Each structure stands twice: as C-alpha cells, then as structure tokens.
Amino acid sequence: MLDTLTIATQRTTAPRLPGINFAQLDFGKTFADHMLVVDYHDGQWQEPHIVPYGDISVSPANSAIHYGQSIFEGMKAYKNHNGEVALFRPLDNFHRFNASARRMCMPELPEEVFMQGLLQLIRLDSGWVPTDAGSALYIRPFMFATDAMLGVRPSESYRFMIITCPVGLYYAKPLRVRFEEQYVRSAEGGAGAAKNAGNYGAAMYPTKLGQQEGYNQLIWTDASEHKYVEESGTMNALFIIDGRLITPALSSSILDGITRRSVLQLARDWGMPVEERKVSAIEILDAQRNGTLQEAFGVGTAATIASIAVIGYQGHDYELPTPPADAFSRRATAALAAIRSGEVPDTHNWMVRV
C-alpha cells in the first residue's frame, strides 16, 4: 500500500527497544517508542502526527471521562519467515472502528488517516515486532472525546491515537469458564456490537466474581432469558458439536470479531458445516453429556484461539475432552499462524504488508 499522506514525525531521542527482553513480556505493559495522534475539532480532522510514546494531558472536565465517549480496536502485526512485517486484516478493523464511532455518536475517521497513520507508525517501530512463536505486535487504535465540559451531549472535539506493544501468548492453558445467569454484558439494542470502553468496564465486576470462584472467564448469556450464549469473556464463543461449527449469530449485543470471521471462513474452506444461530446453554451441556460436544473455544485478537476445558453451570462443572492433534481449533490455529508467517498462500488477501 503506497503512502499518500505525509505525516509529521518526531522520533524519540531515548529509544527503549535495546533494553527490551522479548522473552519476558506481560501482555499490554510494554509499549513501543512512538504513537500516532490526530485531533478532531471545528468539524474536521486535523493533521496527524507521530510522536514519542508518552503521557497526554486532559482536562478534569474531559467529557470522555464523565460520559464514556471512548472506543477502541485491537489488531496485530506479525513478521513473516522473510522478516517482513504485515498486518492481519487491518481494513476490517478500520470499518469496525467507524461502526463503533457511529454507534457512540463520534466522527468517523477517513480511511487514509487510519491506514496511512497505522502503516507509517508500524514501519517506524518495526523493530518492536517480535518473532517468537505465538508473539506479535499488538496494536491499539482508540478515540475519545476531548471537550472540557460537563454536559450530557456528544463532544465537539476528539482525539484519535494508535499505540502498540509487543506481546506473547494471552492464555497459556485451556480455560475454565462458567455461564453467567445474573449479570449481562449487553442487551439487544444496546452498544454490545461496538467496541466502546463502557462494555468492558461493566463486565469487570461479574468477571471478578467468576474468577473468585476459580473460573478464568464467563460465558455471557442473553439479557432477557439468560438462556442463549452471547460471548465468552472478551471473545466470541464457538463450539464443535457432532462435526458442525456452531456460534451465536451476530446481533446488536454481540461484537463482530475479526478472528471469528477468519475462523468461520477457514471452516467453510475446509467443507465443515457452519451454523450461525442461537445456541443455548442446555444444548451445549446436552452435547457434553451425550459425547457430541467435541470442542469449545473462544476467539479474539488478543487470544487468537483459546480452548475451553471446563464449563460451569448452576454450581456444577462439566469437563470437555482435550482436543486431539487434528482437532479443528488446533488446525485453525496452525492455519492462521501459517498465513501470518507467509508459509502458505494468503488466498483471502488478509495480510497487508507494512
């Protein structure tokens, strides 16, 4: 992708890359040397800048703090076997970012600003892209309101930024999860399909309760009946039942995951039946009891594919079989890794070279 936008760049005078131990990375705690910053005011986006990573200043009356106009994306850059850096499906993240912006009454970002800002930032910090298996450069585009005013209305000014951090595996072992039947992540007609900050803040308390009971994450259920699966923690939930890949159909309460799209496409490529529909807790547990539940896993940018080992329901734990070497989730994990590393053809044009 050719550069069509000139972005003023201020390089750091104190690079931190030489002191980074890529073998010991806590997810989301080590940040690359630079960040992209673009402000919106007077009804239009201003000139983007790449500057050294560092703190920013906001007013105590910042309307994002008080009223929650804040959205973000999560994506990754990888190095292939030739040492070239490429992004995984960045345009999908761009379109979803703008969908979140529309839902949260925020200005949409021009594609040129998002993509050129992203590419030039990653190019500058390409040395921060790790090469170990399971590692990547995690990329966090985000936007928040910047009006300094206490008033419940959409802000008139905003800031868009991109920061990045090298990461390893998000989950080191299969997950223990349980169905959540009291609290909800989102309701139909709400903002669950948007990646807005409030969704994640509201999920923390019920997740904490689940973790105190020994579970890693929750399987969120619908708001009206607490019967049907929505998501698993911060991931989309997928199940293999009797050779079919089953996942909840997208709705206004379920995030349209980029990894979800990719895994469903792989299944279709391989001739596996795919069903996007309502799937209930009872259906899953019945399949577990009669032996037709072959796999359960969550998919998302941070974790990619995270296998589920135990599902809790109404005080009882149900153990799932350990996926064999030829299990779908293992094959999909390997296939995505091979596409990202350039070991196999990228037939769907998911990778964008930096």
Within the chain, what is the greatest distance between any pair of CA atoms? Answer: 62
Q: Which two tokens stand for residue 155?
A: 């802000």
* Residue 2 scores a pLDDT above 80: no
Residue pLDDT, tens place only, 198-207: 999 999 999 9
Neighbours of 352 (CB within 10 A): 18
**By 3-state DSSP, what share of the chain in percent is helix, strand and coil, each rounded to 5?**
25, 30, 45
Q: What pLDDT does residue 6 have?
A: 87
Mean pLDDT of 73-88: 95
Q: How far is it, in rounded angstroms, from Cα 33 to Cα 52? A: 6
Residue 155, pLDDT > 90, answer yes
pTM of the model: 0.96
Map residue 238 onto helix, strand or coil: strand
Average pLDDT over residues 290-317: 95
User: How would residue 174 be classed by pLDDT, with cut points 50, 70 and 90?
Assistant: very high
Q: Which two tokens stand for residue 104?
A: 């949260």
The C-alpha atoms of residue 326 and residue 346 are separated, in whole angstroms, by 22
| Residue position matching structure tokens 């923390």 | 204
Q: Is the pLDDT of residue 49 over 70?
A: yes
SS3 category, 240: strand
Residue 1 has pLDDT above 70, yes or no: no
Across the range 222-248, mean pLDDT stands at: 97
Would you say residue 334 has pLDDT above 80?
yes
pLDDT at 23: 86
Flag whether pLDDT at 101 surpasses 90.
yes
Per-residue confidence (pLDDT) for residue 134, from 0 to 100: 84
Closest CA to 316 of 174, 178, 182, 175: 178
Residue among 199, 234, 228 at smallest CA distance from 216: 234
| Rounded distance between C-alpha atoms, residue 16 and residue 294, angstroms | 46
d(CA 227, CA 229): 7
- Amino acid identity for residue 306 in this structure: A
Say yes or no to pLDDT of 148 above 80.
yes
